[in-house]
Amino acid sequence: MNTFFVSLLPVLLGLVLAPLLLGVIHRTKAVFAGRHGSPLLQAYSDLAKLLRKGAVYSRTTTWVFRAAPVIGLASVVSVMVLLPITGNSAPLSFVGDLIVFIYVLGLMRFFTVVAALDTGSSFEGMGASREVHFSALAEPAIVVGLVALASATGFLSLSGIFSAMSPTTWVVAGPALALVLAALFIVFLAENSRIPIDDPNTHLELTMIHEVMILDYSGPDLALVLYAAALKLWVLGALIVNVALSPLGLNGIRGVGLFVAGMLVLAVIVGCVESMMARSSFLKVPRLLVTAIALSGIAFMLIVRFTA
């Protein structure tokens, strides 16, 4: 039983550290803009403040609107149980858990979108429409990308894949793995509504995706939504960091330490991307996402060829 709790530690790590990533992203952007920026722990104080407030609900909304934040957070927390951390297996791992991983996040999205439509506002409808549009394209990209990794390592669970990825895997299929990494990064940006797909800091409802969908949330509900978004950033980022760190072949506590460092670096990279790029036109986002699908597909075929 004790070992089970030890294996839960990575989950706790994610639950605690996820909001920090937002702080790092903001700080990076502030440095680029020559500002001092908000404290690194700003996201934590925001969450604490929201949890202390009351709530305002729209008269149009139903129980669906209230269920969505709860289901969203529960989904993303369940997903964290499947997530390995560099060199350490996840608390729960089984064949095909990568599919479960993606589909449980799909459940979260389903309810976020439905809750946005529950308010009856056309702005939130607009955000919902864009969300389903882009995620429909992001989904094949991540599925094919993960299947490519499964094919490269011969394992069918996230823990198995990431523990089997070693320097040799990179020697055999390096270019293909780099493509998967690129595809995963695009999906990561899209699913977490970052620039160039969506701008989390814009002040015009017309141009937003995720932020506009949650426009009517307040108080503890908003806290749940924001926290779930931070966790989603963590879990999808963890996939990228796991792939990127695999050639070092670390495990144990050193793996965990390096993983956390990797997550922070990823946050800095996201900050850099956001500072250097403009948000792309919504009409062009699908091209970016199908590029991700193409990258995964190419990577898959190359891996099949390399490991034949």
Minimal distance, residue 87 CB to other proteins, in Å? 21
DSSP helix/strand/coil, 222 = helix
CA pair distance 17, 31, nearest whole angstrom:
21
Nearer to other proteins (CB atom), residue 105 or residue 256: 105
Residues 168-207 contacting other proteins, CB under 8 A: 171, 174-176, 179, 205
Distances (CA, A) of 236 to 114, 169, 241, 244: 22, 22, 9, 13
Question: Binding residue for other proteins (CB under 8 A) from 14, 18, 29, 75?
Answer: 75
Nearer to other proteins (CB atom), residue 95 or residue 261: 95
Question: Binding residue for other proteins (CB under 8 A) from 99, 253, 261, 277?
Answer: 99
β partners of residue 85: 88
Contact window for other proteins (CB under 8 A) among 30-38, 111-119, 235-243, 260-268: 111-119
The torsion angles phi and psi of 216, rounded to 5 degrees, stand at -95, 5
Nearer to other proteins (CB atom), residue 41 or residue 132: 132
Please give the structure tokens belonging to residue 218.
Answer: 């307040």
* Rg, Å, the chain Cα set: 19
Q: Are 149 and 243 in contact (CB under 8 A)?
A: yes
Nearest Cα to Cα of residue 273 among 17, 20, 22, 25: 25
Nearer to other proteins (CB atom), residue 48 or residue 253: 48
- HSE on the CB side for 105, CA within 13 Å? 28
Q: Are 290 and 199 in contact (CB under 8 A)?
A: no
Residues 29-48 contacting other proteins, CB under 8 A: none
Minimal distance, residue 108 CB to other proteins, in Å? 9
Contact window for other proteins (CB under 8 A) among 26-34, 38-46, 144-152, 249-257: 144-152
Contact window for other proteins (CB under 8 A) among 1-9, 122-130, 235-243, 250-258: 122-130
219 binds other proteins (CB under 8 A): yes
Question: Binding residue for other proteins (CB under 8 A) from 17, 114, 248, 258?
Answer: 114
156 binds other proteins (CB under 8 A): yes
Question: Binding residue for other proteins (CB under 8 A) from 37, 140, 247, 249?
Answer: 140
Exposure string of 109-145, with b = 16+ CB inside 10 Å and e = fewer, is bbbbbebbbbbebebbbbbbbbbeebbebbbbbbbbb
Minimal distance, residue 308 CB to other proteins, in Å? 7
Cβ-Cβ contacts under 8 Å for 204 (sequence gap 6 or more): none
Residues 51-70 contacting other proteins, CB under 8 A: 51, 53-62, 64, 67, 70
Minimal distance, residue 151 CB to other proteins, in Å? 5
